[in-house]
Amino acid sequence: MKRVRVAVIPGDGIGQEVVPAALKVLRRVAECSQRLEWEFVEFPWGCQYYVDTGMMMPDDGLDQLRYFNAIFLGAVGDPRVPDHLSLWGLLLPIRRGFDQYINLRPVKLLPGVEIPLKGYGPGSIDFLVIRENTEGEYSNIGGRLRAGTPDEVVIQNSVFTRKGTERVIRYAFERARRSRRQVTGATKSNGINYTMPFWDEVFRAVARDYPDVSSHLYHIDALVAYFVTRPESFDVVVASNLFGDILTDLGGAIQGGIGMAASANINPENHFPSMFEPVHGSAPDIAGRGIANPVGQLWTAALMCEHLGFPEEGAWIIKAVERTLEDGVKTPDLGGQARTDDVVERVLTHVERLSHCDAGK
């Protein structure tokens, strides 16, 4: 039996609903597996903490998180706090401070889910977006001069390092060797004339080390169109920080909605804990109503199990979610009438069946 310590940050809005839902499933998975025991330690950080203290997390927040095996996060954002303050006060310092330079965002069409695209069945869309997660367009280098005047100047620099660019692209090629051996790179080297030609140059150099993997570079404007017109053609897509973020909201939409989308912020060397969070935000419009879709958070929980060395347990969660959706137990964003708790109860039932944990009942 392995003891696994997880720092839990439900955060804001629906994070307060979908995180407890996922913890319930994770606890049952551990009971059924008998191979692991969770120790969940909850941190009350986020926008309410900001309203109360002026900080999204304490000054020593990263030190408090450092020795956990993983971080499990819900959502960040609240209309009372400007978005750039909430993001740069919690999520981004964790991603950067713990060198979580890989952001894995799977896009897969699950059974029982209707999507806006016609003619696609379960599994026919199945690819992985790998987003660079620590540099690129998300830089805090820049400034604002003569604010509020007609002569105002605002500058935000992008930062692409050779190390940062090469390691994410190489990770994508390695990952593609585990799937259909195809990598697509997102670029914009026609309009963005320093960073993106550099990105392409590194992409092509890394591709030469992987003759067994086919590779393509597409301008981001064409790529978003291909996501809609031929999503079945992708295997692994690698993108800079901003492009990856935008692509995966679209990825969420083509797998049924942003509430479905999972993500993992990984430090591959395990020098620091990795962080698991769904792609969606805090959804203040539906927060507190008990109807948030827990699938993104549950799928994220499965990615965490896999990362921590429990792939079988992760597979139970994904399979249980698939069966729940096939049963038609779906929240309103997917066209159903179920509440968050209904989905969780059905997922628990399927986890028990899949793991034969219900044998004694």
Q: Residue numbers of the site for ligand GGG (CB under 6 A)?
A: 75-77, 87, 245, 277-278, 280-282
Q: Pick the closer one to ligand GGG by CB: 32 or 75.
A: 75
Name the residue nearer to ligand GGG (CB basis): 237 or 348: 237
Main-chain dihedrals φ then ψ at residue 142, nearest 5 degrees: 160, -165
Minimal distance, residue 15 CB to ligand GGG, in Å: 7
* Listed residue (292, 297, 301) closest to 74, CA to CA: 297
| Shortest reach from residue 127's CB to ligand GGG, in Å | 19
17/245 with CB nearer ligand GGG: 245
Residue 168 Cβ, how far from ligand GGG at the closest point, in Å?
Answer: 15
- How far apart, in Å, are the Cα atoms of 223 and each of 46, 102, 118, 166, 243? 34, 20, 19, 21, 10
Q: Considering the complex, what minimum distance in angstroms separates the CB of residue 265 from ligand GGG?
A: 9
Residue located via tokens 């028990």: 352
86 or 355, CB closer to ligand GGG? 86
Smallest gap, in angstroms, from Cβ of residue 340 to ligand GGG? 16
Compute and round to an integer the Cα radius of gyration of the chain.
Answer: 20
Q: Which two tokens stand for residue 174?
A: 């390695």
Of 241 and 355, nearer to ligand GGG (C-beta) is 241
The minimum distance between CB 46 and ligand GGG, in angstroms, equals 9
Nearest approach in angstroms of CB 14 to ligand GGG is 9
Place of tokens 């092509």: 204
Question: Alpha helices, DSSP H only, in 151-287?
Answer: 162-176, 195-208, 220-229, 241-254
Residue from 30, 112, 70 nearest 317 by CA: 30
Nearer to ligand GGG among residue 32 and residue 71 (C-beta): 71
Cβ atoms of residues 264 and 153 within 8 Å? no
Is 160:199 a contact under the CB 8 Å cutoff?
A: yes
How much helix, strand and coil, in percent to the nearest 5, is found in the chain?
Answer: 40, 20, 40
With tokens 């993992």, the residue in question is: 264
**Longest CA span, the chain:** 74
The angle at the Cα of 85, spanning 65 to 131, to the nearest 5 degrees, equals 65
Indicate the residue among 132 and 277 with the shorter CB distance to ligand GGG: 277
